[in-house]
A and B are shown apart, each in its own frame.
Chain A
Amino acid sequence: MSRILKIAARNVSRYRRRTIMTSLLITVGIVVVLVFTSVSGSFKSLMVGQITDSMLGHVQLHRKGYVASLENIPQHLNMNRKEYETLAAMLDASPDVAAYSPRIKLGGMISNFDQTANIRLNGIYPDREAETCPLLPSRIIGADESGAMTLKRGEILLPYLIAQGMKIEIGQDIVIIATNKDGSVNGQTFTVSGMLEQITGPGGRDGYIHIDDAVSLLRMTDGKPGKTGAAAAASVDTGMDEMDEFEKELAAMEAAESAQKEKQKTAEKEWTAEISEIAVRLEDFNKLESVKAGFEVALGEYVNKKGKPVFEVHDWEKLSPFSNIVQIIDVMNLFVKIILIAIVMISIMNVMVTAVYERVREIGTMSAVGTVPGRILGLFVTEGLLLGVVGVIIGNITGAAIVLLLNINRITMSFGRQEGIVLSPSIDFSQMLFISAVVLVVAVFASLQPAYKASKMEPVDALRHV
């Protein structure tokens, strides 16, 4: 084998110009693939990160049919307390879940006492929402300088376009009027604490209020009112004056910082809110598929009386139109790789066909002195492989160098109000290995036909060749 390798290496270096040209072609192909995949990959992860971390979360859990009717904000498809607790227990037990945030979604009217407009709102726990969507605070215009997510009861984060259209300023009071699933209409005054930059995808133009405000606004009860639910119901009955009672109660709960989450969960168990969706952030985004599949299996056992599933699981791709762009990027990546394969295939096949044609007498001589056909085939395949190896080595080094240069020179871009986002292209080592393996396999494949032809030559004809 080492002798075949030695002869092949010498043959490859024998036609220096041809080898350089072929290796250069393969190098260019590999560089294009590496740079394109790293830059597009960086763009993709940046955009996906922006979307999932600003609004969607990585995965969302709903009652079956909710997402299909998402535009209508179907309150009758909210989860009841028991259903929510089922999901919460599953999420709490999962080591793959970094954070999750229950949301109450509602549609209503906003009034600044001068104009009215439609608005969609999310009732959230600010801290849990910020844990699940860590970039949400960065979307807030007029946010706290610390970047912390602050949304107290009685406050609202308004979509920027609505605020601008209605000439609403931060600190101004507005009224939200909403209808609950029973058709009961309620109104509540809020103070605008900030404005939200819109983002593409569902919920990208929604405003935010505290989840307890959503409970009171929608007068949520399930016939088994808990402590908070009862209080919420009381707040509806007695009007805004009763809100102070709530705030005191909430402030008392928040005072115990060490047990904050536990208390919040306890509070969740007590209130009677119906949750529209749960946004989930995973520990490792790369495990999205497997974690989602795990959720689907775990939730598959919950069926209604008709045997239909109660819950549905959606990852961000199913919820955001940006996933189409991601798919386009993936398709472009695929095409670039196909072009690389074509380049390697054509260039190596061309060189090897020429090499066989030029060395017919040599093949005849090798065969005459007793070289078996398999070894002749091995020799030419090795030559093709070596051409691929040279291209792979130079291509990977050059590609890595270019990506390094791109990182040093920093490519910046804007996305929404976020300017100066730095693209950080990086080469995934496994991607590099994959591309190298593809090139080498294609190199061998491209050499096979000429090599086979060489091995099948009749020595008497080959020796006669001029």
Chain B
Amino acid sequence: MALISSEGLSKSYYTRDIELKALDGLDFEIEPGRLVSFVGPSGSGKTTLLNLIGALDRPTAGRLTVAGTDVATLGRKSSAVFRGENIGFVFQNFNLLPVLTVYENVEYSLVMVRNVPPAERRKQITRLLEDVGMADQQHKFPDQISGGQKQRVAVARALVTNPRLVLADEPTANLDSKTAFMVIDLMKRMKNEFETSFLFSTHDHKIVDNAEIIYTLEDGKITDVKNAGGDA
């Protein structure tokens, strides 16, 4: 069964009476455990698509099923619960909570969303922080670590709830090449280890080169699909 299934997915924005179609009738399916990249020029609809898949936004038309749930029908609270249970996010600007330490940022979802018991929490977080190489920095606050380290923490935060899907919007845009490769490598390892699907919206060829499936978007439409296989 497909992890993500989209039929005639459309999203329009309205400025006064003018309709701007960000996505226009997308049909696609993504199987679980894949590294998928959405590429295309700015304004092509990559981020909008990720927002819809992540239940952060609602489609204007069409049907979108993620992990067996029609995300278009979810309300504000149920979409939050859905995200907490099924989806991890990695943002371009890291979006770590500044008042929490590295450890607490990773822990956040387990406490505030999942309510996991402390002992299990600690075990899970420690393992993840070791996996992303941030165990020795766990007591630091986000403003005390580098951009690359922040993104590694963000990856750990995205994976800590064992989501079926991680959405990463331009995850390497604010990183230097070396750090970007490190983060990509990390995500690939995590994908293999946890069998989590990773969906990227990116311009970065470093990510594209590693993706198994590459969707090219232009003017809100899928213009090309490459099943590259990647080197994952």
Set A14, A369, A373: member contacting B108, Cβ < 8 A: A369
Contacts A3-B111, A463-B56 given: A369-B91 contact, CB under 8 Å? no
Query: Any chain A CB within 8 A of the CB of B135?
Result: no
Contact A460 B51 (CB under 8 A): yes
Could you tell me which A residues sit within 8 Å of B by CB distance?
3-4, 7, 10-11, 14, 361-362, 364-375, 456, 458-460, 463
Distance of A361 Cα from B98 Cα, bound (Å): 11
Please name all residues of chain A whose beta carbon is closer than 8 Å to the beta carbon of B157 when the two chains form the complex: 369
Contact A365 B80 (CB under 8 A): no
The proximity string for B residues 68-97 relative to A, scoring 1 for CB distances below 8 Å and 0 otherwise, is 000000001100110111001101010101
Distance between A460 CB and nearest chain B CB, rounded to angstroms: 4
Contact A10 B100 (CB under 8 A): yes
14 of the cross-chain contacts (CB-CB < 8 Å) are A3-B112, A362-B97, A365-B89, A365-B97, A368-B89, A369-B108, A370-B85, A370-B112, A370-B113, A371-B84, A371-B112, A373-B77, A459-B56, A463-B91
Distance of A170 Cα from B161 Cα, bound (Å): 97
Contact A371 B113 (CB under 8 A): yes
Distance between B173 CB and nearest chain A CB, rounded to angstroms: 15
Query: Any chain A CB within 8 A of the CB of B99?
Result: yes
Contact B99 A365 (CB under 8 A): no
Set B93, B99, B113: member contacting A369, Cβ < 8 A: B113
Please name all residues of chain A whose beta carbon is closer than 8 Å to the beta carbon of B81 when the two chains form the complex: 370, 372
Please name all residues of chain A whose beta carbon is closer than 8 Å to the beta carbon of B99 when the two chains form the complex: 7, 10-11, 14
Contacts A368-B54, A463-B56 given: A373-B80 contact, CB under 8 Å? yes
Contact A370 B91 (CB under 8 A): no
Query: Any chain A CB within 8 A of the CB of B109?
Result: yes
Query: Any chain A CB within 8 A of the CB of B57?
Result: yes
Could you tell me which B residues sit within 8 Å of A by CB distance?
51, 54, 56-57, 76-77, 80-81, 83-85, 88-89, 91, 93, 95, 97-100, 108-109, 111-113, 157, 161
Distance of A210 Cα from B80 Cα, bound (Å): 86
- Which residue of A has the minimal Cβ distance to B101? A10
Contact A370 B80 (CB under 8 A): yes
Distance of A370 Cα from B95 Cα, bound (Å): 14
Contacts A14-B99, A370-B85 given: A375-B57 contact, CB under 8 Å? no
Please name all residues of chain A whose beta carbon is closer than 8 Å to the beta carbon of B54 when the two chains form the complex: 368
Most buried by B among A7, A368, A372, A459: A368
Please name all residues of chain B whose beta carbon is closer than 8 Å to the beta carbon of A362 when the two chains form the complex: 95, 97-98
Distance of A374 Cα from B77 Cα, bound (Å): 8
Contact A365 B111 (CB under 8 A): no
Contact B112 A375 (CB under 8 A): yes
Contact B97 A368 (CB under 8 A): no
Contact A7 B100 (CB under 8 A): yes
Distance of A298 Cα from B97 Cα, bound (Å): 68
Contact B83 A369 (CB under 8 A): yes
Contact A369 B56 (CB under 8 A): no
Contact A370 B84 (CB under 8 A): yes
Identify 15 new A-B residue pairs, CB closer than 8 A, beyond the known A368-B83, A370-B80, A370-B83.
A10-B100, A361-B95, A364-B95, A365-B89, A365-B91, A365-B95, A368-B89, A368-B95, A369-B88, A369-B89, A373-B77, A375-B112, A459-B56, A459-B80, A460-B57
Contact A369 B51 (CB under 8 A): no
Distance of A368 Cα from B77 Cα, bound (Å): 11
Please name all residues of chain B whose beta carbon is closer than 8 Å to the beta carbon of A365 when the two chains form the complex: 89, 91, 95, 97
Please name all residues of chain A whose beta carbon is closer than 8 Å to the beta carbon of B56 when the two chains form the complex: 368, 458-460, 463
Distance of A3 Cα from B108 Cα, bound (Å): 9
Please name all residues of chain B whose beta carbon is closer than 8 Å to the beta carbon of A372 when the two chains form the complex: 77, 80-81
Please name all residues of chain B whose beta carbon is closer than 8 Å to the beta carbon of A459 when the two chains form the complex: 56, 80
Distance between B76 CB and nearest chain A CB, rounded to angstroms: 6
Q: 3 tightest CB-CB pairs across the interface, nearest first?
A: A370-B84, A10-B99, A370-B113
Distance of A14 Cα from B141 Cα, bound (Å): 12
Distance of A362 Cα from B99 Cα, bound (Å): 10
Please name all residues of chain B whose beta carbon is closer than 8 Å to the beta carbon of A364 when the two chains form the complex: 95
Distance between A426 CB and nearest chain B CB, rounded to angstroms: 42
Distance of A362 Cα from B96 Cα, bound (Å): 8
Distance between B111 CB and nearest chain A CB, rounded to angstroms: 5
- Which residue of B has the minimal Cβ distance to A379? B112
Distance of A459 Cα from B84 Cα, bound (Å): 13
Distance of A371 Cα from B157 Cα, bound (Å): 14
Distance between B143 CB and nearest chain A CB, rounded to angstroms: 11
Please name all residues of chain A whose beta carbon is closer than 8 Å to the beta carbon of B57 when the two chains form the complex: 458, 460
